[in-house]
Amino acid sequence: MNRNGEKSRVVERRTLVVILFNLLAFAVIAARLYFLQVKEADKYKMLSDENRISTRFLVPPRGLIYDRNGEVIAKNEQDFQALMVAEQTPDIEDTLETFKKIIPLSEGEEQKIRKDLKNKRRFIPIKLKDNLSWAEVSKILLHAPDLPGVEIDEGLSRYYPYADIYAHVLGYVGPVSDKDKKDNPLYMVPGFKIGKSGLERYFDYKLQGKGGTIKLEVNAYGRVMNEIERNSGEEGQSLTLTLDARLQRAAYEAFGEESGAAVVLNVRTGEILALVSTPSFDPNLFTNGISYKHWNALLNNERTPLVNKAVSGQYSPGSTFKVVVALAALEAGVIDLNTRFNCSGGLDVGNIRFHCWRHSGHGSLNVVEALKHSCDIFFYETAMKLGIDRIHDMAVKLGMGNVLEVGLDNEKAGIIPTKAWKKARFGTSWTHGDAANSGIGQGYVLVTPLQLATMLARVVNGGYAVQPTFIKPTEKELAKVKRLDISTKNIEIVKRGMFEVVNGAGGTAGRARFNYNGALMGGKTGTTQVRRISMKERSSGILRDEQLPWRLRNHALFIGFTPVDNPRYAVAVIVEHGSSGSGVAAPIASRILQKALQLDIK
């Protein structure tokens, strides 16, 4: 009995232990379920959402660019691109092969795709093909079941309606490259474009805008099922430039087949009304990545269409520089209106004979007459008496020798030499011959067309240091423009000389004169020697510069302003290897200034 009772009590205790253990286990499971389902519900909901929700960056519309009258010169157009998300593509190789059968890919495009697949995280979409037509989009959508992870993205592509006319000003946008900084998350978006050159690059931070995001619900195959949330971001700021589209076209077309550059300024404000460089290129070719064929053709063109000659071209200014020398000499008191030098056609400087362009000579001239006839002897004499350092100081005061910082790529400073500059550069002393050459804008002197236009504007506006700009200055900014320490009387003497160049009997630019409703033009011609005609060439019958091969001919220059009595517009023109400033560059400038007067640009 006792034994049975003890056995019964043992069984009861064991049963109790099992029950208690089961109760404890149940309690632990219940507590865990409560923790997971109640306390951690938000966390696991979030993890679940992450498995079915895809977050993408939205590219904001790029800001538009307008001319001064509201004409759109850089805009956005709808385009389509095919993207692939690697983590949503079970067999990447199979998907790529299928896509290539539908939409052919170049070798370069396929290499880029494989590079992106290797370098980018699997959840980031990569571009398969952009700039798709409606027909191509339809083909891809038709084969959607065979292309897991592939989707069509609708976006905007940059378009330049004026093509080559604005190429050197606006520049272009292009795909993000390995060299570009990746601190902006937008740079990871397939097909995102950034400013690569010109004002597109300079104002890129404004034009880009701020990216948005979109949350999409996707199924197990990566297909977008629903849009959950959208934050559109901010579209880029638009820009209004000082350029006039009508004048820009006229300036570009005035060159015809010639190679060169022109810059037109409002002399009172410094606003750039037109800036062209010819020949040019179509910036639309760069938007989606230029082909090797097109790139090679541009690169190997002897007339350098990729170079913005208006700011990157450095040229000897030739006789246009006589305006600077004359003003510097008048200001220094080295000459005055009554000073005369005799031109017999040549001048001995040391043991070197310096010639005037007119070998028979000009006779006795004062500064106005010397400008009118572009007498070299007068300016040899003047420069040697004046000295290069004082010429340098006046040139710099008028905007030469420094970068003017208008926002364009590769703007050059040019060279306005001094005695110290030559010593540091070549280890030799300055000579009278150096001074004589500088007096006619040759030798070491180099300038850009933009600098020539700025110099002329500062002279004819009465000596105000206007700064060339593509953005209209405010009244407050204009009020701060300083008046240069230059005598109004001396400015008027130089202006009189430029008036005679065009309108006086025997002036070097007489064929370019006009009278537009009473408005006349003043200016200064220039021709810079590329090289002399050799004796061998002369013996073969080559007697004139125009008979030389194009690349060996002289450069032709002209600076002009109008109206003479109340200047509003200044223009600088260079025609590369144009042979004659008076015969080629001056007529181009004349047409451009007459167009400005016709348009009455305020």
Q: Which residues are catalytic?
A: 319
Residue pair 224/216 in contact by the 8 Å Cβ criterion: yes
DSSP letter (8 states) at residue 474: P
DSSP letter (8 states) at residue 467: -
Is the torsion defined by CA of 273, 279, 280, 282 positive or negative?
A: positive
- Judged on CB neighbours under 10 Å (0-12, 13-18, 19+), 472 is middle
What is the DSSP code string of 266-330? ETTT-BEEEEEEES---THHHHT---HHHHHHHHT-TT-TTS-TTTT--B--GGGGHHHHHHHHH
Compute φ and ψ for 521, nearest 5 degrees: -110, 140
Residue pair 92/248 in contact by the 8 Å Cβ criterion: no
* Range list of β-strands (E), 448-598: 522-528, 555-562, 569-575
How far, in Å, CA of 431 to CA of 444, rounded? 12
Kind and range of the H or E run holding 225: strand 224-231
DSSP letter (8 states) at residue 465: -
Say which residues have a Cβ less than 8 Å from residue 564's Cβ, sequence separation at least 6: 495, 499, 503, 519, 520, 521, 522
Residue pair 92/174 in contact by the 8 Å Cβ criterion: no
Residue pair 470/199 in contact by the 8 Å Cβ criterion: yes
- Judged on CB neighbours under 10 Å (0-12, 13-18, 19+), 340 is middle
* Helix segments in 120-159, DSSP class H: 134-142
Longest CA–CA span in the chain (Å) reads: 156
Strands 72-84 vs 126-129: parallel, antiparallel or unpaired: antiparallel
DSSP letter (8 states) at residue 136: H
